[in-house]
Structure 1
Amino acid sequence: MLKYNDQLIMALEIGSTKTVCGVGKLSHAGRLSILGYHEESSISWRKGRIGDNELAIRFFRNIVEAVQHSTGGRPYVVHVGMANHELYITRQNFKHVFSETAHRISEEDICFVFQMLKALAARENNRIIHVVPTGFYIDNQLVKEPLDLSGKCFSIEAIVISMNTEALDNLLMLLKLAGIKVKEVILGSLASADAVLNATEKEFGSVYVDIGGQTTAIVVYSHGFLQDVVVLPVGSNYITGDLVFGLGISYTAAEYLKLELGLTPVRNLAEEIEVKSGSELKRVSARLILDIIEARINEILDLIKKNIEIYNCEGLIKTGFVFGGGGAKLAGLVDYAEKHLDMPVRVTGPDAYLDAGTSTEAVSLGVIGLIRFRENQSLLPAKPDTSNILGTGWLEKIKLWAVKK
């Protein structure tokens, strides 16, 4: 359970389509109070770098200054959520065999396997951002709480998320020059999933799907552990591009048709819909619009299905899917996805996580996820002091410590 924390947190979510900045804190009621919020279209990234550094510095400075007044001069910490396409995701395991046949697992043993796993996962020119356990094993048997259990062999499996060191250093340099001191960098979709999925969904198996502009992230939970993170190289901007190419209309007109019509059945598919494209009005086929949108959505849903097939076959996903991200706003997506995936699907909004006095009109789940994620994290020291990691709720604490640099 989240605890009240008076620390202000500024969440800066850098996406491929838009960049969002919000300032908030956890209220006594266990919900978030968003004190300031602003978003702008993102500047272009190429191979992890921003081409015009001066433009980038002004961009970051302006978006943060737009919400700084809401802090009332109080100090705050800044956490940056990165878009999926800027990060590398791998799996890693480490097995520790003891000399005695029935070794009792201690706090030191747990910290040791984490340290060794991080050392094994280190890659040249990459910096680790998260190490998230997917399971603890004693003598090859999955356990949730290995502390004080006995066995010959203790192992851990984890998902390791890293970023190119040069690209990360470049980003941090630009943010520093813009007057922004970053405390941590976080995978945005992981933060969103952590906030959106409740304990029951994580235990019985659920999938969070974050449909962004350029990518779609799949985050799988089961047995209370993160099981997988997959990034698909396709997002909702591809639908807009397909409409531009297929209908011969402007990008603005295509975006309008995508959001307004989406996958909603049209009464008469033979009719033509009038849309303003640039300075002229064009009539386009309703049937063709739907065919174009369905083709790209089918591709995304098929890729989701393929990537979670192993978990479905093993019966690990019992509660269904939760969709988020800008692409989840597509009209008719829930019903269409349920039929395609043959499982329950829901789209979650920000109102379930915000304080009653906070406007939910435009707040993104990414900002909410970043703040909630780090409200938990702020309860821990930066380094693994075992006296603080373990004890009551130690498993959650060790998971939280593991995502620190």
Structure 2
Amino acid sequence: MKKRVLAIAALGSAAVMPVYAQSTVTLYGVIDEGLQFNTNNKNVVGGHNVGGRLWNLDSLAGPSGSRWGMKGAEDLGGGVKAVFTLESGINLNSGNFGQGGTAFGRQAFVGLSSQQWGSVLLGRQYDSVNDYIGYMTFGLAGYGSGLAHPGDIDNTTHESRANNTIKYISPNFSGLSFGGTVTVGGVAGSLSQNSGFSGGIGYRGGPLSLGLVYELFRNPSNAGAILNSNANAVAPSSTSAFGSLNSGYLAGANPATSWQVIGAAGSYNFGQVTLAGAWTNVRYGNIGRYSGASATFNDVEVNGMYQVNPAVFLSLAYNYLKGNAVRGDIGDQTYHQLSAMADYTLSKRTDVYLTATYQIASGTNSTGAPAVANISLVGDSSNNRQALFRLGMRHRF
């Protein structure tokens, strides 16, 4: 009788115990290290960039960029999950954080996700350019070099992240999806300062991918705004974050009060061969340095990949960037960039690769000086030509 009473009591207590939802946390990352040779690296002597050749190890400018992160999900029932991601860039050669020393500079967000209704995410995130066209450009394509368009003028390689951002991602409707972001400025007394929004629509079905985006941000180079959002950000009047290609529009006492990007991209896989193309239009509005004028850039890229065999692929990209004059010939600048990559897979998680990028500039840059080459993540050269070579190894975990 005593055993029966204890059994009933145990069953009763179990019946009132809370049932916890299933949850998962995943640690992941990429280690991407390489030996680089820059034929014309920035070297300022006596206030002038005299350039110089440079050999160095770099873990942030590779095809993937070294990072580690944590992501998790908790099943809340009814097809809804709570999700989060914390992701940090890593500089292997110093042990420091990437993204200007920002602890979780790549991504940091939390939100709710539903297969039926989509996802709402809150935090530091990528914009719609990244989500809907960036992955088809050579900087972010799985067969690409990791290098952006000159100066990363259109953020297609997400060098810039948006702080204080709310993002919506729709469900997948037979390959079609859409979404957008709203960035709240976080500036007391002003609802519009440092704020912005982006939106995009994309299709991924079989061998075909297509994307279209639009975004507009206010005060883009302010400390904390999208183009100056890292932990080391300082005011535009004293920043050195931008190259001469666009520093005349984004730095100084009265920089542009708006930054607009319109873009479209597409790719098609033919089996062993993949071909892709992208176009973007970038506009800096109301530039104080030039009496409220606007500056525009048009960028066109074509790229392709040939899968030689399961272990080897070769890829190539050409990029053309044209800036329109703001006043006189100021801003009338042209950039041609050619990039190539060869990759050999050692295992499911490890590969070695060789990349080469060459860029030539002409015209007059945003400061009124002769345009100089500016390969992304390397910065201004001392003249109109620059080449970057990289021999690297990449390991995913």
Shorter-chain TM-score bucket reads: under 0.3
TM, length-normalised to structure 1? 0.27
Would you tell me which structure has more helix in proportion to its own residues?
1
Instruction: Please tell me whether Structure 1 or Structure 2 has the larger radius of gyration of its CA atoms.
Output: 2
Would you tell me which structure has more strand in proportion to its own residues?
2
